[in-house]
Copies of this chain bind each other. A is one copy, B any other.
Amino acid sequence: MSTPTERATHWLSAFSSALARNDAAGAADLFETESHWRDLIAFSWNIKTVEGRAAVADMLKATLASTKPSNWKLDGEATEKDGITQAWFTFETATARGRGHLRLKGDKAWTLLTTAQELKGFEEKKGRRRWNGTDHGVHKGRKNWLEERQEEEATLGISKQPYVLIVGGGQGGLALGARLRRLGVPTIIVDKHERPGDAWRKRYKSLCLHDPVWYDHMPYLPFPDDWPVFSPKDKIGDWLEAYAKIMELNYWAKTECKTAKYDEAKKEWTVEVLRDGKPVTLRPKQLVLATGQAGLPNMPDYPGMKDFKGKQRHSSQHPGGEDWSGKKCVVIGSNNSAHDICADLWEHGADVTMVQRSSTHVSRSETLQELWTYPLWGEQALENGITCDQADMIAASMPYRLMAEGHKQLTAEMKRRDADFYARLEKAGFLLDFGDDESGLPLKYYRRGSGYYIDVGASELICNGSIKLKQGKVERITATGVKFTDGSELEADLIVYATGFGSMNGWAAQLISQEVADKVGKVWGLGSDTTKDPGPWEGEFRNMWKPTQQEALWFQGGNLHQSRHYSQFLAIQLKARMEGLPTPVYGVPKTHHLS
């Protein structure tokens, strides 16, 4: 009977030998029939999961010659649980140092994760490699740090062009900006707001992050250990503002991006921006859209909207409930924003009705954290020695297809724990679901980025009738309210359309062209063939953090965890291109959906 470490060592050695003799088929034979290899830019220069031996062999045949993997070493002891051997390892490629994770069933690989962690010769200047801060010695005419920063600010984007332009300075843009700064990639971040963090500050008053603090760290600068579990919006806004400053990011506030056009011959973008009202033309080599996981607002087109005499607006334009005390408010939609806005209106004394058009998943915040995030990102995890970086890697080691299976078990447990809560919600008439395949909230987020509410209080208001609930299909908007297909009507002084957002490629259409947006296709979603996430199966997020069908166009973002973790791999992809390293991309999927 061999030990887990012996089994993992043996597998790694056999795999490494097969790769060394360029034997793709032999290497593929080391995988289970049903197996998953997830590669984050180490072999594929792509974010790619391949499934089964044939696909493994295919990826190896296409990438081995350029990747030249070597120096595979187990990192720590392997472990075994429920018949699965797990191990961490390190390796190298022609251009990078890598880290990976292995799950064996018996002596065959069930899952494999390979990631490129840093480029050889282009490592971050940290730890022992950090800048000295001053050249000891005395030099006539030297510039100090402030003068150099001021010179950079005065020239970058004016007399010197950035290599990367990031559109959008929220957590996604800032995280990527910080990583690129460390890699010495000249970068400008443009954002339309006055100050970094304003995208949070300007939202409704009671907003706090829905994910807990341990899940939300930005790269390099963890929150202090007294940071609140759920950051209030203004506090996270201030944090992001301080972050931009501390990380020395070239952040152009009050800058609106108007148009962008790619010159295929020059391999360069021409981007027109208005910086504090003044036109500036930027010519970056790479363009990153970090404009938010949600695309443009989906405004419905109901008959009669133009005749409505009250106020009506999309949820993204709704500033809060201050002015609506005693007024009749109808919120169309039943996802996160709809719930938050209804609760906020109720807090301000409005008469509120939520219009639910289809079923919604609800997870109680506490239960969700306990079952989903806390095992990896939380105080217990920290006490178990799982740092945030390690948690990110553990999460990355689980392919999305298998993740759905695991989450079905969490859903069952959630239903058990919160049975009374769900019974009361349904009794109040709320249409509940737990995902097409009962895989719950995280998968809904990954697949469609919508369809759920993380309950922080509004569900109780629905249960007790404080927020009224109306099921139905809107037929038309009248001068005084909303008319439904069942003939009923709701009077309204205010209608909020909490009707969601389009795909992020809407940003590309707006900024670049419909043609480029269509070439790139839908952004986000896994191709799971479930509601709002049509197939075919992609196995990874569409177009996120990796090459797209449009050369030099990238999408960065997601929640704070994703912004943090995937910015590492996007930054390395951009740095490699800047340095002219070979980056042959394997397996960019065809575009199947336009939005």
Contact B246–A238 (Cβ < 8 Å): yes
Contact A131–B226 (Cβ < 8 Å): yes
Contact A132–B220 (Cβ < 8 Å): no
Task: State the Cβ distance, A487 to closest chain B Cβ, in Å.
Answer: 32
What residues of B have a CB within 8 angstroms of the CB of A206 in the complex? 134, 142, 144
Q: List A230-251 residues whose CB lies under 8 Å from chain B.
A: 230-235, 238-239, 242, 245-247
Task: State the Cβ distance, A370 to closest chain B Cβ, in Å.
Answer: 14
Q: List 11 A-B contacts (CB under 8 A).
A: A127-B225, A130-B228, A133-B208, A133-B228, A134-B230, A138-B460, A144-B232, A149-B234, A182-B226, A220-B225, A242-B242
Contact A139–B246 (Cβ < 8 Å): no
Q: Which residues of A contact B (CB under 8 A)?
A: 124-128, 130-134, 136-142, 144-146, 149, 182, 205-206, 208-209, 213, 220-221, 224-235, 238-239, 242, 245-247, 343, 346-349, 365-366, 379, 456-458, 460-461
Main secondary structure of the interface of A (DSSP, over half): loop
Contact B226–A130 (Cβ < 8 Å): yes
> What 6 A-B pairs have minimum CB-CB distances, sorted nearest first?
A133-B228, A145-B232, A133-B230, A146-B234, A134-B208, A126-B226
Task: State the Cβ distance, A136 to closest chain B Cβ, in Å.
Answer: 5
Q: Taking A127-B379, A229-B132 as contacts, is the C-beta distance between A141 and B246 under 8 angstroms?
A: no
Q: Taking A133-B208, A458-B138 as contacts, is the C-beta distance between A246 and B231 under 8 angstroms?
A: no
Contact of A232 among B127, B134, B246, B366 (CB under 8 A): B134
Contact A226–B124 (Cβ < 8 Å): yes
Contact A136–B456 (Cβ < 8 Å): yes
What residues of B have a CB within 8 angstroms of the CB of A343 in the complex? 138
What residues of B have a CB within 8 angstroms of the CB of A146 in the complex? 232, 234-235
Contact of A226 among B125, B235, B379 (CB under 8 A): B125
What residues of B have a CB within 8 angstroms of the CB of A231 in the complex? 133
Contact A130–B235 (Cβ < 8 Å): no
Contact A133–B229 (Cβ < 8 Å): yes
How far is it, in angstroms, between the C-alpha of A494 and the C-alpha of B146 when the chains are bound?
A: 27
